[in-house]
Structure 1
Amino acid sequence: MTTSRRRGGAAAVLGAALLLTSCGDSGDEGTEKIVGATEKPAAESPEPGGSEPPVDAPEFDFPAGLKVEVDADTTGDETKDAVLRDHGYAVRAHMLALAELDPELPVLADYVGGESFIKSADTVASFKADGRTVTGETHFYDREVELKGKDTASVTYCEDQRKAFDKDVESGEVERTEPSDDSFVRYTALMRKTAGGVWKMTFDQSERGAPECQL
């Protein structure tokens, strides 16, 4: 998912993973009190097909100044492409929650659950407390799926944060950083299929500066 743009700053996350260094380290304490942390079935996810998004695909209205690009990386396998589709929604949902500083964003709970949700919510709360948000451009690519069973899969993927930065909410000042190897993050996410047919990201970890993600 994505992390603080401050190299070595607030993050370790979802492996940071989600957020990363994904989203921010967090324990399990208080899990039941966090909306979206439990694996409640979501509305059935639309079937994949073609390059056009499903009619009932969630909409992600990112604020001006923030661009989130997720490569399709489709495989032609119906199940794997369904995992990639919902994984893409999960990544975008995390970024939108971070941009809006809203950990209770409904779409976040729809596509992110378990430990990943807790970390994502903690990261958003940390940014909000610090008066920071995100801006610029971030790109997720090289997504690969491995099916672990009927209802479980893993997704490995990369993120390019060279043009993504923290922004002070009050002043609007952008905290620009120089691109480096640490601008590239490698993630591994666990996806679980809910009773409603949605593939939710439930766990992830990350590695900043991963050689395989360098562009």
Structure 2
Amino acid sequence: MNRPIRLVSTALAASAALILTACGSGGSDDDASDNIKGAGDGDKKASASADAPSPADRAKRPEIKLPKSLQVDFASWTNSDPKLQAIMDDGKERLLASYAAIINQDPQDDAFTFYNTSDALRTGKTWIKGFTDENLTLIGKARVFQPQPRISPDGSGTLFYCVDEGKGSTKDTKTGKVTATPADDALVLYRTKLRKTDDGVWKTTMVQTENGACK
């Protein structure tokens, strides 16, 4: 069974909990457009204080380590607003944790369950199990770019970003067979919704994806 490197959109396409939609910036959480507007506008002038946890950030975040066989590059992943940077930081760790759970062959991976909750956690576990049942792991390279974080009036957060998986592949851990990500599936737009916990962690509650919406 061939599974491209991308998260959620492959194994969870059949899940009724997720609807593949195009995404846009601004407006309410329900607003959407065919492409990300102003993508790549992440502020590169983030101050050093943006990386420092706030006094309310009391959580002990898990350490995530990926093997050299999978490299993930986050391009322009900075913002001058510390609150938006916090969303981006936890969103980044969630994506890495998802990759790590596949590589560790563990749907209950500590880092994955730490950064995901609600629908994102339930459907994510199903997605990871799809890989583990097929003895598949992830190798190659992925580039994550054009981040757009936002805090909604109700206090929830959204984070849109693109992932280029053109250099990513799956590998059968038993046979060693490598399957490259199809070119048509290489660029994936992610739309994630997050909610901040009392300990200051922006946990992802929902993930939606769309192929071909990124340039």
The 10-residue stretch of structure 1 (82-91 or 143-152) with the greater mean CA deviation from structure 2: 143-152
Counterpart for residue 189 of structure 2? 186
Counterpart for residue 116 of structure 1? 120
Answer yes or no: is 1:196 the counterpart of 2:195: no
Q: 1:115-151 CA distances to partner (integer Å, 9 max, x unpaired)?
A: 1111211111111111211111111111101210363
Counterpart for residue 19 of structure 1? 8
Q: 1:77-118 CA distances to partner (integer Å, 9 max, x unpaired)?
A: 111011111111111100100111111111111111111111
Answer yes or no: is 1:91 the counterpart of 2:95: yes
Q: 1:4 & 1:177 partners in 2: Cα distance?
A: 8
Identity level (%): 26
Answer yes or no: is 1:169 the counterpart of 2:154: no
Counterpart for residue 207 of structure 1? 210
**What SS does the corresponding residue of 2:87 show, helix, strand or coil?**
helix
Shift of 1:58: 3.7
Root-mean-square deviation (CA, aligned residues, Å) is 2.8
Counterpart for residue 65 of structure 1? 69
CA separation of 1:117/1:24 partners in 2, compared to 1, >3 Å: closer, same or farther?
farther
In the alignment, residue 65 of structure 1 is paired with which amino acid? S
CA separation of 1:145/1:52 partners in 2, compared to 1, >3 Å: closer, same or farther?
closer
Q: 1:105 & 1:54 partners in 2: Cα distance?
A: 26
CA separation of 1:195/1:72 partners in 2, compared to 1, >3 Å: closer, same or farther?
farther
Is contact 2:47–2:80 with CA below 8 Å preserved after alignment? no
In the alignment, residue 50 of structure 1 is paired with which amino acid? A
Counterpart for residue 137 of structure 2? 133
CA separation of 1:52/1:195 partners in 2, compared to 1, >3 Å: closer, same or farther?
closer
Counterpart for residue 35 of structure 2? none
CA separation of 1:203/1:135 partners in 2, compared to 1, >3 Å: closer, same or farther?
same
- State TM-score, norm by structure 1: 0.74
Is contact 1:67–1:138 with CA below 8 Å preserved after alignment? yes
Counterpart for residue 12 of structure 1? none
Q: 1:51 & 1:158 partners in 2: Cα distance?
A: 26
- State TM-score, norm by structure 2: 0.74
Task: Work out the number of aligned pairs and report it.
Answer: 180
In the alignment, residue 145 of structure 2 is paired with which amino acid? Y
Q: 2:144 & 2:180 partners in 1: Cα distance?
A: 20
**What SS does the corresponding residue of 1:172 show, helix, strand or coil?**
coil
Is contact 1:26–1:122 with CA below 8 Å preserved after alignment? no
Gaps of 5+ in 2: 18-45, 54-59
